[in-house]
Structure 1
Amino acid sequence: MVSLATKCYVEGDARERALDSLDSMVANDLADLDVEWTIGVPDTEFVSVTIEGEDANVARNLLRERWDEVTDHFDHGEVYTGTLESWDGQKWVLDAGKDIEISGEDLGLGPGDPRQIRDRFGVVQHTPLQFVYDADGGHRLADEARDQLYDWTRAEGNGGRLNVNSATRGEVRATMNRAGHARDVVTVERLGLLEQSVICTEGTDPPGLLASVGEYLPAELKCVVP
């Protein structure tokens, strides 16, 4: 079994759609392998994939490479992935199977307290983020995560971003089309199963886009303005 570093925290029909979407992605990734799989959502909400068959080990490694894995074993100085669980004026807390507290200083994302930093970089709850584990508790955000967030704030052929949780990539794309904003979107980048980043075209105003589509998405939405 592989415990993917992405969560499924919606219920009812939304959960069915999310798991159907994941099943399609897994089927595409493992299409050439001799395996069968079952997808589940335990109480932790981290999606698990149980794999059987001749190519099971290869399949597990492919899924780990794509989604990263939640583990119960941590080595000092190694990089792992957790999802943003909570935040306050002192820290971010990532869920990596256990709570990982990262102080504002160890976020390494410039001025402001952790709440202000989250707003500035548009990080929605449950976004997967990489961190460096410290056996003494001084965990820090990994360079890979810092680079990713700083890249969001750089206007390189786009007009900023609108980050969304609680919706699949397909649902976000459909919502943009339904709200008449297809021309305002370069693409929708998948951050996790239910966390997406809408890359806006040049000249698009992300706060205006948020105001326009917010009524269609029962989700947290945050803007990134270059």
Structure 2
Amino acid sequence: MVVLATKLYVEGDARDRALDSLRSLVDNEIGDLDVDFDIGVRHDDFPSVTIEGDDAVVARNVLREEFGEIVPDLEAGETYVGTLESWDDDGFVLDAGQGEGVRIPSAELGLGPGSPEQIRERYGLVQHLPLRFVYEAPDADGRSRLADDEVDRLYEWTRGTGRLNVNSATRAEVRATLNRAGHAQDYVTVERLGLLEQSVICTEGTDPPGLLASVGEYLPAELRCVVP
């Protein structure tokens, strides 16, 4: 079994659509392998994929690489994926499936000046966004930090044409909403950040705050802009 490092936190019909989307994503990754799989959702909203078959080991590794994995125990110095659970003046708290969140102190975010809230606004970080981090045990006076490749990825977001980040919606739902609202020409693609976290990459000349104002009423979600 692999517990994927992306959350399924919506309810009702939206939950059914999200599960269907996850099945399609998993099938796209491992459907050509000699395996059968079944998807469940843990009490903490992390989906688990049970895999059986001759290629089960390969399939598990593929899913770990694609989604990141929630593991029972974290080891100091190792890199993991957690979802952005909360933030305060002292830093970010990531959910890595341990019950208690993993705190990333402000000084270890590595994303430039400003408070954690200002950094969240600057980089368009929506709640539940999967983020890679390097774990250090707090009882050993260690301080966990965002992984270097994660910091590099977020910096790259501010050097592009602008983004609109969204949670609580699948990639297909975001694309359909943009197209229905008449913005088919205003974005390059919708990048999947997590199962329910997407990033709309704007075309040259598209204003991310203007796009947010136009489509926000159609998406029951948190939306954050990244303005270059």
- TM-score, normalised relative to structure 2: 0.96
Separation (CA, whole Å) in 2 of partners of 1:163 and 1:32: 31
Give the partner amino acid of 2:116.
P
The reply to whether residue 5 of structure 1 matches residue 10 of structure 2 is: no
Partners of 2:27 and 2:117 in 1: CA distance = 38
CA–CA distance in structure 2, aligned partners of residues 132 and 49 of structure 1: 24
Q: What are the Cα deviations for residues 15-73 of structure 1, in whole angstroms up to 9, with x where unaligned?
A: 11011011111112112211111111111101110111121111111111100101122
1:167 paired with 2:172, answer: no
The match for 1:62 is 62
Q: Secondary structure at the match of 1:6?
A: coil
Partner Cα separation in structure 2 for residue 63 and residue 182 of structure 1: 31
CA distance in 2, matches of 1:118, 1:127: 11
**Cα distance between partner residues in 2 of 1:196 and 1:154:** 18
Give the corresponding residue for 1:52: 52
Matches for 1:142-153 after TM superposition, within 5 Å: 142-153=147-158
* Cα shift readout 1:106-160 (whole Å, capped 9, x = no counterpart): 10111001111001110000000000111234101110110111010002xxx30
Of 11-20 and 68-77, the range deviating more from structure 2: 68-77
The amino acid of 1:212's aligned partner reads S
For 2:216, what is the secondary structure of its paired residue?
A: helix
Instruction: Note the C-alpha offset of 1:97.
Output: 1.1
Distance in 1 (CA, whole Å) between partners of 2:42 and 2:77 is 28
**Structure 2: segments with no counterpart, 5+ residues:** none
Count residues with an aligned counterpart: 223
Residue type of the alignment partner of 1:84: L
**Corresponding position: 1:114 with 2:116:** yes
Task: Find the aligned partners of 1:161 and 1:28 in 2 and give their Cα distance.
Answer: 26
Name 2:94's counterpart in structure 1: 94
1:193 is aligned to 195
Residue of structure 1 equivalent to 2:181? 179
**1:35 matched residue in structure 2:** 35
Separation (CA, whole Å) in 2 of partners of 1:87 and 1:170: 29
Quick one: distance in 2 between partners of 1:20 and 1:215? 25
**Range with greater deviation from structure 2 (211-220 or 28-37):** 28-37
Aligned to 1:134: 136
Runs of 4+ with deviation above 4 angstroms: none
- Matching residue's letter, 2:182: G
Q: Following the alignment from structure 2 to structure 1, what is the Cα–Cα distance between the partners of residues 82 and 167?
A: 15
Shift of residue 76, structure 1, vs aligned partner: 1.3
Q: In the alignment, is residue 25 of structure 1 matched against residue 25 of structure 2? A: yes
Between stretches 211-220 and 23-32, larger displacement belongs to: 23-32
Pairwise CA distance, 1:91: 0.9
Report percent identity of matched pairs: 70
TM-score by length of 1: 0.97
Tell me which amino acid in the other structure corresponds to 1:97: G
Gap runs ≥5 in structure 1: none
